[in-house]
């Protein structure tokens, strides 16, 4: 597994699914996440998925096929599952998903989703971590603007 930060944070790995080697690349750009899964070295069907902003209690997602097979509901379901997971960590980043697969079985797509989630580049900051960050910022600000009083 490769994990690099320059010029874009990315991770590259492979898995074996139904006798087919699947190469997966995950890239985390400033404004979106790109996931490429291929079994034949080409991009394949390109999908875009994003969380829709709204007043609804339950999140809604938009998934569209940009290029490739439009009649494959399992590909749309895969993008939907991934954006559902990603948006729980980074709500504002859409997903661009490329699936170049020899076959689109439910089993293969579930394995790809599980592998991408396991090797993710997005992380959740929990409340304790956030409080620690706020505390550190307060300390830094106090020290930056601290002027010692000198009495003669």
- List pLDDT tens digits, range 63-79: 999 999 888 999 999 99
Pairwise pLDDT comparison (138 vs 42), residue with the higher score: 42
User: Average pLDDT in the 22-44 region?
Assistant: 94
> Which pLDDT does position 81 carry in this prediction?
95
Which of 95, 148, 101 has its CA nearest to residue 121? 95
Q: With bands split at pLDDT 50, 70 and 90, how would you rate the model's confidence at 147?
A: low
Pairwise pLDDT comparison (25 vs 152), residue with the higher score: 25
Residue 15: exposed, middle, or buried by beta-carbon count in 10 A (0-12, 13-18, 19+)?
Answer: middle
Dihedral Cα 99, 102, 108, 112, nearest 10 deg: -30
The dihedral of CA 66, 88, 86, 76: what is its sign?
negative
- List pLDDT tens digits, range 88-129: 888 889 999 999 999 889 999 999 999 999 998 887 666 666
pTM over 0.75: yes
- List pLDDT tens digits, range 56-65: 778 889 999 9
């Amino acid at each position: 597994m490769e994990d690099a930060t320059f010029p874009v944070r990315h991770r590259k790995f492979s898995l074996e699914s139904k006798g087919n080697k699947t190469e997966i690349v995950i890239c985390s750009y400033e404004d979106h996440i790109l996931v490429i899964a291929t079994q034949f070295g080409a991009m394949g069907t390109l999908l875009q998925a994003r969380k829709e902003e709204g007043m609804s209690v339950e999140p809604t997602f938009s998934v569209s096929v940009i290029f490739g097979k439009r009649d494959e509901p399992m590909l749309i379901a895969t993008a939907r599952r991934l954006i559902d997971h990603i948006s729980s960590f980074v709500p504002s980043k859409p997903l661009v998903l490329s699936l170049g697969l020899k076959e689109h079985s439910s089993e293969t797509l579930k394995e790809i989703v599980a592998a991408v989630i396991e090797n993710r580049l997005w992380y959740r900051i929990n409340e304790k971590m956030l409080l620690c960050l706020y505390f550190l910022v307060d300390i830094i600000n106090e020290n930056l603007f601290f002027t010692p009083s000198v009495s003669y």
